[in-house]
Structure 1
Amino acid sequence: MSFVDQLKTLSLHERRIVVAIDFGTTFSGVAWAKVLDGHTNLVDLWPAAGSHLTSRNSEKAPTEILYDEDEPAGFKWGFQIPRDVDRHQWFKLNLDSKYNPTTELSKRYPSPNSLPSGNQHMAQQLTADYLGALKKHLLDILQIQLGKHHAEETPLQFILTVPAVWSDAAKETTLQAAETAGLGQNAPILMISEPEAAATYALHRKKLGDLSIGDTFVICDAGGGTVDLISYTIEQLEPTLQVKEAAPGSGALCGSTYLNRRFQEFLESKLGQELGFEQETVNDAMKKFDEEIKREYSTDVKNANYWVPVPGLSNNPELGIRRNKLTLPPDDVREILKPVIDEVVKLVRDQMRSTNKEVKAILLVGGFGGSQYLLQRLRESVPKNTAVLQPGYGWSAVVQGALLRGLADCNPQHSNVRLTSRVARKHVGRFCSIEFDEAKHLMSRRCA
């Protein structure tokens, strides 16, 4: 019997592949697994400029689109877009017309490439096109890894992540975009909140320290655009780990992109009048800051020397420029990072208070969650008996947790983490009253 014939002996349910998409504000990730064996696979190869297959290695791809009629699909996406070209970014946030987690940071540093406020229709089309590109890339990956026949004969079950604070209307708009992208072709699309997905993966990995039944912990999913939080209390450890929500989710626009914008403002203020200062100077300096400095900075490191390349600028000892490098004193770096870190610390403390319980642990996930300065500041800002944890898998925790939830929904044998209850976001009630009758009712019961 051929391999294709063997596939046909399995039911559609047994042949299904679960695909998780962490659709992020700045970066998005994809993971997949066969329902039959539950083995998880993270997509970490992406098409880059001049390529339509797998030439860029990363756990995620930029959530960006550039429409180009010369492209076969009509647009470039992710790593295909050259660094110095305008593109559509941040369109995810426009899917929810009621999502307004505005901060002083978002007012001061609006995205230069985001859509006008309330442009929901355009955001839905951008989302559909981007999700469609992710699906097509996944199909290419499956054909390479499983073979063309296997990939074509296997139905796909998609599960999509959304922010914890999104409205039902925003979830519906996202679902419509996903349907347009073809994600619901084989089965209804599933959804899970981003911090809930991260918690699922952390619990699956048993990376929450020495927590016991009754202990409460906070998940802080700090990404590029938004920071989302949610809290859980452990109800059972064995045989299945069970948790319940301890407080509703919260979030705000204070992700790591705001660190980049503050650094750009710093550069332009300090060097903008220098001969030779141009966009290439900013781009090269930003790359170094984004990939290294903002992740590694910590006040615990003594006598640290930070620098960024500034091509085209002459030596200037007063400004700290020597051999096309700008030296950044630690105090300058701290002042760039501090307002954004302050916002995240406030969000975490507010979430802890909303649980009305003693919080035993805080888990930092997401790309921004890997910041050493954020870790340090949180440890200084919360009680000593609250552990602040920073797992090494933080950037992919959301997509991998979503995949685990999708597998569990398709086959309970893959379930080892279960959410038993949620805190109500809304309450529905009805006022009623009866006309007062002094022959029947006490005067003390009469309403004024």
Structure 2
Amino acid sequence: MAVRRFPGQEATAGDSKIPSIIYYDKKGMVRAVGSQALLPQVLAQAEDQCWKKVEWFKLHLRPLAEVNAPKSPNESYSRMAPLPLRKTIVDVLADFMKYLFDCTRSYVTETHANDELLWASVKEHIDFVFSHPNGWGGTQQEKMRRAAIKAGLIPDTPAGRVRIQFVTEGEASVHYCITSGLARDIMKNGPVEKTVMIVDAGGGTVDISTYVVRCGNTLTVEEIAPPECIYQGSAIVSFRAKDFLKGKIRFIHFDLTLKSLRVRKVDRFKILY
């Protein structure tokens, strides 16, 4: 079962995914999250009240080796929105996790019989599985675990901590592909062995994993190459595209006054020249 409705999606059919955006006010309080942060009235309020917008914040977790690596002049991490004053990445992750958890509770209690009774019976027994880029390890996992504790998802006890599990995005992707028909396609011609490369082109990173899938009496999947994590996701592509377009139009003068626009009507069409 997936949560298919979040605040801010009332005018649409709903979606199980929301953008990773949080607006904070000047006091550091969460004001809008996810789809809510894209509503016109919220955007206007954010501008009027000088709210701080935080997005792509997961990239602030990237390993120190990547943070300290030499950057080219076009490197785009420097243009990532900084975290709000007195907020750490653990704080921001905790705010986002708490929002998702609260939305999940609302969805379950509103769409199922016995609402609160059902939720009360499962809330202390929920296991959480977090995915992360291939290049991340213990340091990033510990920060995500601390964020889950701070968000109230689990108690800060040994029993609570074991309810948090992690999986790389490469592993998650290959499992998704197998359950979505990859194994069936491979087995069409009988027992066979195939090499499969999974490329997960995400918002912050591009994760590349290579496996050999053996289909016989049983299905086995073996990783045959070190997984790659390239920090050139769609967010970085967008930064660079913006720079490219700004460079192209830097010396172009746009005169948008009404006097500069001459419109000649031809039948039912308008030609602007």
**The two structures share one fold, judged by TM-score above 0.5:** yes
Is the Cα contact below 8 Å between 2:62 and 2:140 reproduced in 1?
A: yes
Q: Which residue pairs with 1:251 in the alignment?
A: 229
| 1:100 pairs with 2:79 | no
- 1:245-394 alignment to 2 at 5 Å? 245-272=223-250, 273-275=252-254
Q: 2:17 aligns with which of 57, 60, 75?
A: 60
Give the Cα separation in 1 of the matches to 2:23 and 2:2: 25
Is the Cα contact below 8 Å between 1:135 and 1:183 reproduced in 2?
A: yes
Q: Which residue pairs with 2:164 in the alignment?
A: 189
Give the Cα separation in 1 of the matches to 2:58 and 2:217: 38
Q: Which residue pairs with 2:110 in the alignment?
A: 144
Cα deviations by residue, 1:401-421 (Å, 9 ceiling, x for unpaired): xxxxxxxxxxxxxxxxxxxxx
Q: 2:79 aligns with which of 112, 127, 151?
A: 112
Structure 1 unpaired stretches of 5+: 1-40, 278-312, 316-321, 325-448
* Amino acid in structure 2 at the alignment position of 1:165: G
What secondary structure does 2:213 align onto? strand
Structure 2 unpaired stretches of 5+: 263-269
- Indicate how the Cα distance of structure 1 residues 183 and 235 shifts in structure 2: closer, same or farther if over 3 A, else same: farther
What secondary structure does 2:232 align onto? coil
What secondary structure does 2:141 align onto? helix
Q: CA RMSD in A?
A: 3.6
Larger RCO: 1 or 2 (CA < 8 Å, sep 6+): 1
Please report how far the alpha carbon of residue 43 of structure 1 lies from its aligned counterpart in structure 2 after TM superposition. 2.5
What secondary structure does 1:215 align onto? strand
What secondary structure does 1:206 align onto? helix
What secondary structure does 1:154 align onto? helix
| 1:180 pairs with 2:150 | yes
| 1:199 pairs with 2:159 | no
- Indicate how the Cα distance of structure 1 residues 149 and 235 shifts in structure 2: closer, same or farther if over 3 A, else same: same
| 1:45 pairs with 2:18 | no
What secondary structure does 2:186 align onto? coil
Q: Which residue pairs with 1:234 in the alignment?
A: 213
What secondary structure does 1:160 align onto? strand
What secondary structure does 1:46 align onto? coil
Give the Cα separation in 2 of the matches to 1:244 and 1:100: 28
- Indicate how the Cα distance of structure 1 residues 233 and 115 shifts in structure 2: closer, same or farther if over 3 A, else same: same
Is the Cα contact below 8 Å between 2:76 and 2:236 reproduced in 1?
A: yes
Give the Cα separation in 2 of the matches to 1:139 and 1:94: 28
Give the Cα separation in 1 of the matches to 2:236 and 2:110: 38
Q: Which residue pairs with 1:413 in the alignment?
A: none
**Larger Cα Rg: Structure 1 or Structure 2?**
1
Aligned length: 236
| 1:76 pairs with 2:43 | no
Is the Cα contact below 8 Å between 1:45 and 1:55 reproduced in 2?
A: no
Q: Which residue pairs with 2:122 in the alignment?
A: 154
Is the Cα contact below 8 Å between 1:77 and 1:130 reproduced in 2?
A: yes
What secondary structure does 2:193 align onto? coil
Give the Cα separation in 1 of the matches to 2:70 and 2:192: 36
Q: Which residue pairs with 2:203 in the alignment?
A: 224
- Indicate how the Cα distance of structure 1 residues 220 and 194 shifts in structure 2: closer, same or farther if over 3 A, else same: same
Please report how far the alpha carbon of residue 194 of structure 1 lies from its aligned counterpart in structure 2 after TM superposition. 0.9
Is the Cα contact below 8 Å between 2:197 and 2:210 reproduced in 1?
A: yes
- 1:5-44 alignment to 2 at 5 Å? 41-44=1-4
Is the Cα contact below 8 Å between 1:68 and 1:76 reproduced in 2?
A: no
